[in-house]
Structure 1
């Protein structure tokens, strides 16, 4: 064989070998499996019942009013903490107020309706308005709800006593005034856990 034929046969053999090697890399067995996965978030659903806790008229210094209400966990997640934000506005009937009417309304959070003398925390509406929701939780709801918080489908009864404090001084400036109180309850979740 002459050298040209040997070179041609060698190149042709090399090309055939490379094509077989290249083609062989795509010849393999395979299998695949698809999984379907879901991440569904739970819900926090705190309900205060009734939504109007107190509405009274014609109060005078020395009057007290006891009201009870429920906090319900209607969600699918346990509630760790309940936070309370207080806001109010005063309608000054005669425009002569030199003091905040909220300083004269004392609030007592009680353990339950049967033990009205067991006060959890006592403050005024004015002081409550200035407190952070976290501080209110620490003083009021932590002692009431304890470490378990408010589990799913649970109800906790709360009792509040409002006192129009008679300070023994002239309180005529509050005659005819009204105070509109807004309490906003906020639930927070318990700590995350491995599922």
Structure 2
């Protein structure tokens, strides 16, 4: 090998060695932190107790039936409203069954025992969507509208087979299957 080649190889080796030494001795401070984050969605869980509010036979015009039931929020999120939808299978009889919502005991505060909050026949109730947990009576007492997580509202309702003072013989032996669907809606989103 010629001296030129040896010298060139030596210079190249020295340059490589210097670059390794410079790169290997470069130092800096560092610190690392790790965060573990969680997103967990809440639940809406509405229940009705009892699941069958009314089941009666042998009705005649003028009869009325008082019932109580509870809407319970068994979920972890507050409910802003509970939409009530009504369905049934006998249009003619539905015109003669009046529903008197006597009270939502938790929202009404201090009212007289037979204070009817809302009254309508089943055929008029169908197609509407009233909010069952809305505070309808102004009162400084009682809860605000909605249903907080872990709470319940107590309801009194009266069903009445309206005696219209006319011949209602065509309703003998008639029956009606009533389906009430309670749909819970969440509260609005908020900064968390």
Task: Give TM-score, length-normalised by structure 1.
Answer: 0.75
Q: Secondary structure at the match of 1:75?
A: coil
What runs of 5+ residues in structure 1 fail to find an aligned partner?
1-13, 91-98
Q: Distance in 2 between matches of 1:146 and 1:152?
A: 13
8 Å Cα contact 1:108/1:120 also seen in 2: yes
Deviation at residue 33 of structure 1 after TM alignment: 2.0
Q: Distance in 2 between matches of 1:102 and 1:179?
A: 7
Q: Distance in 1 between matches of 2:133 and 2:35?
A: 44
Does residue 1:176 correspond to 2:173, yes or no? yes
Distance 1:112 1:22, change over 3 A: closer
Does residue 1:74 correspond to 2:60, yes or no? no
Q: Counterpart in 2 of 1:125?
A: 122
The structure with the largest helix share of the pair is 1
Q: Secondary structure at the match of 1:38?
A: coil
Q: Distance in 2 between matches of 1:51 and 1:143?
A: 23
Q: Distance in 1 between matches of 2:189 and 2:162?
A: 44
Deviation at residue 156 of structure 1 after TM alignment: 1.1
How many residues of Structure 1 are paired with residues of Structure 2 in the alignment?
A: 180
Deviation at residue 150 of structure 1 after TM alignment: 1.1
CA RMSD of aligned residues (A): 2.8
Runs of 4+ in 1 over 4 A off after TM superposition: 14-25, 112-116
| 1:106 equivalent among 89, 92, 98 | 98
8 Å Cα contact 1:67/1:159 also seen in 2: yes
Q: Counterpart in 1 of 2:38?
A: 38
